[in-house]
Amino acid sequence: MMDRLEQLKRHIEFLEELGVQGVRRDPTWRNRESVAREALDSRLDGSRDQEVRPSLSSVLLLGQIRDDLGDCERCKLYSGRTQLVFGVGDPSANLMFVGEAPGKDEDREGLPFVGRAGQLLTKIIASIGLSRDEVYIANVIKCRPPNNRNPEPDEVATCEPFLFRQVDAVRPKVVVALGAFAVRTLLASKLAISRLRGQVYDYRGAKLVPTFHPAFLLRNPERKRDVWEDMKTVRSLLAG
């Protein structure tokens, strides 16, 4: 588990990027944050002194899904990939992030969100007091599309059932859909992400929170405040 000081550092870094210069010292405000953090810690860690081990059933189910994918050649994306990018993190996490598809860095490393967007995602996760090891991260599509184009309908239809199985195996309390493509795919909606975010949806037994993709935030840093609002919603859902 990430050292708490490192989590605090990344939390502050992300808030600084949002333009936040400080926090209130009002005791009532601090007490409210403390209660929320304690409730979240209790659910995530089981107790202050004991770390919950991943559910064996979740580990086995994810392993079976990965075995079923194998060296997948179910759609045309296989021909241009370096390797399949499955998912990473706590197999029994309460919080799951779902992105669009692997990029160049992810295709090389075989892990989701490892480039600049991944570094920002790590800060976003830390902003609510968690580390990447405490969440589960996956993509709708497991192979990199050529030139990072949007996945095509047949590719989504091929890959999405495996994502469904991943969600069912992890059984998160909250799913965060990152970016317009992931949001519209998971919600089966054609609406713009600007119309969909700011609300909470039911999704496969979890609560789904749409937000902007970290790569979008790198190009549009002024939208980081929107993501911070979404992450506060996530934090409340986890603590509730």
The pLDDT tens digits of the residues spanning 5-17 come to 665 666 566 666 6
Please classify residue 109 by burial: count the beta carbons closer than 10 Å to its beta carbon, then call 0-12 exposed, 13-18 middle and 19+ buried. Answer: middle
pLDDT (mean) for 176-194: 97
Q: What's the pLDDT score for residue 56?
A: 79
The pLDDT tens digits of the residues spanning 54-111 come to 577 999 999 999 999 999 999 999 999 999 999 999 999 999 999 999 999 999 999 9
CATH fold of the domain at 4-239: Uracil-DNA Glycosylase, subunit E (3.40.470)
pLDDT (mean) for 151-174: 98
> Helices (H), strands (E): how many in the chain?
10, 6
Task: Name the residue among 227, 236, 222, 116 with its Cα closest to residue 174.
Answer: 236
User: Which residues fall within 8 angstroms of residue 114, CB to CB, at 6 or more apart?
Assistant: 105, 106
**Confidence check: pLDDT of 141 > 80:** yes
Which pLDDT band, with edges at 50, 70 and 90, does 134 fall under?
very high
